[in-house]
Structure 1
């Protein structure tokens, strides 16, 4: 036999051997289809064991290491989103190079014997800025996102065509690793619009994914709302779920279809001002073991979460709950790529279902290092970062000012207000600091639903300056249309000689401070000239710079707990947001972005530091809160007196872990919903609620975007962020829970934001944590 023939035979044999362990398709193409209760890979039964990884959250030099970590865990597939807004940061300016080279990420997966599932959106959620949608879509103020708005669909089609250019040649049918492509993402949590979902399906096909298997994902409670007959259906649920319950309805509708959990949540994401989220390893592994024993495919979301570098962390809704920079997710592979105890526990189980011995766990690409304290001595005020100036009768948003991310300084002159009054900021998105003639008089924080501050008497002609920092745009639910800056009117009200007087402030000057390293360097070099007198503010906010020296490069964690709120750049790389309130106090600095010798640190702090020192440590700090106010809702003054009130409904909820509707005897008007929990389904003293909706008199769900918690007598904040707001956060896997040892009854009061007409209440017990008890006896009040 000739050497070339021997070589071809050897290569083919190795490929076939790798294929049994989840290797990529042979170069001449293959197939991935559905059979009777199973997926078929090249005609043979195949169980997808996928690891969710996100290329923008991993420094490119570490991509291959993270893929190898997943393979050593026992996975055969990599699952990933395509983040539209990182590839098209300006309209028609596409970037698929460097850190954005998604095709190379897929080729690395194939090189390491892994298949790929692609989820190109256009919406992805992922706790990512605006759910992956580009901010510049909002320059068209009346745009309808995730609907058949002509402009939105035109832009989706253009972007998807670019994705097709990158990835369509890499489908399994063409010899690549891509076996499945998703259409949209969890649309049932957004609305019901099959024609829109069908239109996205057609765009995906048109972009080049003509032969590859297409699927859609949703929750067990809503997947039928938008399920298309010609797509595969998969379920999303998390650790602690009852697996049979999650697939019961799908089995009834499609008894011969293969089953897959396309997002099995290994942990959860963290929000500023709340404790670090974790999920038990034993529960996660038990669920995966059960799925594999039943031939059910899954994708572990996240297997490795990584970091939302720069300004890419999003925010959740209702309300406004911005996500921290770390996307550790309590995943088996932690933020900096190390195997956790959860990893090794899962690996033992995955080994049971492997065709051979799993690969060795790869060594870390960099050691962990620390750096002693050093001072950022160089400083210039925040105003040195001003990039552009314009004026308008009313305040303009970031989008109207053609700025995606950063801070805007709004200024106007005031009328005489002889008495103390109240300043109301209607829609300050997101963190506003108010100055009068350079002196700080207060602030509002959208996270805490603050809209007003007390205002001292002011003289005519005084200058009011409002510094508004935008955080991540909302990434989930209808509120993704999230404009930044001053999005509404600014008004002063005061009692003048017995009369209520209101001034709606006009004639604003707006100065933009873009969030970028380039703008920070320009500011530190002296900015854009002389600073107007009205911008000489009594604050330590501004740009700080310093350096540290390294003899040996490694991964490290920059401690920011002495600083206020803002962004950090290291050697020009946007490391991420910090906020003193926590729980995250350190920022991951990858060793691949450091160098021997001098390394530069630039900090933009919009509040100002307590100290100007920083240091690097060899482990992260992800669970240290430094709150100014409690995040509980137990102020005795907010508890309503219901002793003489007549409930709008009384009864018992079923023990079934599904949506239950309580119809009121007649429609009732009120602003508040009070649920008095009289008993628990398991007979104990702890009750919980995953989701609650109110219906109007016509049976239509009332919008919850303005809902807040007025009062809760018991909230398990320390045991897992089970505060009252989790009952209406659009997430079925999170829940309000009371604390063990606190006697029944329990009371939760929700403020709907304005008077509504309520005809029914919908209640969902926790569906993903079977050990958590739901409510049994109840009284519901609308007042």
Structure 2
């Protein structure tokens, strides 16, 4: 902050012009975040595209804004800077209990599917974002390290007979190695998440997602005959409105959770109902409120809450529905959301990191 204001004062003392990037923070809604290429890997940008801007992603002035304003005021005629308009405070909610209602894999029978000898990339499914599931029925025994094409693009959750047996993540400095022992008749499923495409610098020509190449085990034993399912999640699946009926938690497949909340009777509409939504015990996934995809959450951070504009909420007294896709659910881990009046931004140990 001090460096910004001192540089600005130097520019203004020379009667020069300037612009600020960025002045107003933004939000990468849904799956729309990009990525940057760093060394030998792609690093996903957070859902929040704030970068410490003078106006945060909710449009509210930050301390940096006021410091810049004070600096400018020293170099212009007194009274020429207009007053800062009043901005409503962000609001908060109580705990919002989320209940599991549908497994992501329950959607498969109704999803587009391609059968092929080798897996096909996401783009071959006429898909740009979201997830792709690769499914293979083992025809002969295989044992060893699992290799997915030319590498994970980007995060691969590995399931054997419905149980999650490992994660391979191309954004890690060490992507992880999953050793499998496959028996004839076993079901191998690879759920690949597109974490965002590189959108500046280089590597533009190599941004296909999913699996590019063969899947092999051990000493390059190739697994052939795959079913590839498209899971863009541009629309939420049917079957999420089950009232109090909670599904039986089976194994470790990604799970949709739902919950609801109402604004207080004295809540102001629009900007006056802005908040940041947090799910404290969640590991990784996606959040929708009233059908709007707010973006990704990830326990390791640094972003620990998602901006929820009041314009997406129903008026006081009406129900607002939350849908969460938790990619790494546990039957004994409660899922509870909460609206916060300030955003949370910190790092946690990554529960999946192999480093």
Q: TM-score, normalised by structure 1?
A: 0.40
4+ long deviations beyond 4 Å: 449-452, 629-632
Cα contact 2:58–2:307 (8 A) shared by 1: yes
Q: Where does structure 2 lack aligned partners over 5 or more consecutive residues?
A: 243-248
1:490 aligns to 2:215 (yes or no): yes
Match runs of 1:390-409 below 5 Å: 390-409=114-133
Q: Does structure 2 conserve the Cα–Cα contact (< 8 Å) formed by 1:523 and 1:543?
A: no
Question: Secondary structure of 1:399's match?
Answer: helix
Matched, 1:458 2:150: no
Decide whether the 8 Å contact of 2:25 with 2:53 is kept in 1. Answer: yes
Q: Does 2:232 match 1:514?
A: yes
- State the alpha-carbon separation in 1 of the partners of residues 52 and 125 from structure 2: 38
Separation in 1 of the partners of 2:175 and 2:353? 18
Counterpart Cα distance in 2 of 1:378 and 1:423: 30
Q: How many residues align?
A: 332
Larger Rg belongs to: 1
Asked whether the 8 Å contact 2:162–2:253 carries over to 1, the reply is no
User: Does the aligned pair in 1 maintain the 2:169–2:176 contact within 8 Å?
Assistant: no
Counterpart in 2 of 1:543?
256
Counting only pairs closer than 5 Å after superposition, residues 327-366 of structure 1 correspond to structure 2 as 327-355=49-77, 357-364=80-87, 366=88
Contact 2:35 2:196 in 1 (8 A): yes
Q: Is the 8 A contact 2:303 2:346 kept in 1?
A: yes
Q: Displacement, 1:451?
A: 5.1
Q: Distance in 1 between matches of 2:99 and 2:352?
A: 31
- Does residue 292 (structure 1) correspond to residue 15 (structure 2)? The answer is no
The answer as to whether partners of 1:469 and 1:606 remain within 8 angstroms in 2 is no
* Alignment root-mean-square deviation, CA: 2.3
- Contact 1:369–1:555 (CA<8 Å) still a contact in 2? yes
Deviation at 1:335, TM superposition (A): 2.4
User: Quick one: distance in 2 between partners of 1:424 and 1:630?
Assistant: 18
- For residues 584-623 of structure 1, what are the alpha-carbon distances to aligned partners after superposition, in whole Å with 9 as ceiling and x for unaligned? 1111111121122211111122222632211111110012
Q: Distance in 2 between matches of 1:602 and 1:383?
A: 16
CA distance in 2 between partners of 1:452 and 1:374 (Å): 34
> CA–CA distance in 2 between the matches of 1:437 and 1:378?
21
- Equivalent positions of 1:329-728 (< 5 A) are 329-355=51-77, 357-364=80-87, 366-386=88-108, 387-417=111-141, 420-425=143-148, 426-450=150-174, 453-481=177-205, 482-493=207-218, 501-516=219-234, 518=235, 520-522=236-238, 524=240, 538-551=251-264, 552-553=267-268, 554-595=273-314, 596=316, 597-608=318-329, 610-628=333-351
Determine if contact 2:158/2:190 at 8 Å carries over to the other structure.
yes
Structure (1 or 2) with the greater helix fraction: 1
Query: Whole-Å Cα distance in 2 between the matches of residues 507 and 445 of structure 1?
Result: 24
Q: Which secondary structure state, in structure 2, belongs to the residue aligned with residue 289 of structure 1?
A: helix
Aligned-partner SS, 2:70: helix
Query: Separation in 1 of the partners of 2:173 and 2:238?
Result: 34
1:385 Cα shift? 3.5
Residue of structure 2 aligned with 1:309, choices 6, 29, 52? 29
Shift of 1:490: 1.2
Q: Which has the higher contact order (CA 8 A, sep 6+)?
A: 2
The answer to whether the 8 A contact 1:424-1:452 is kept is no
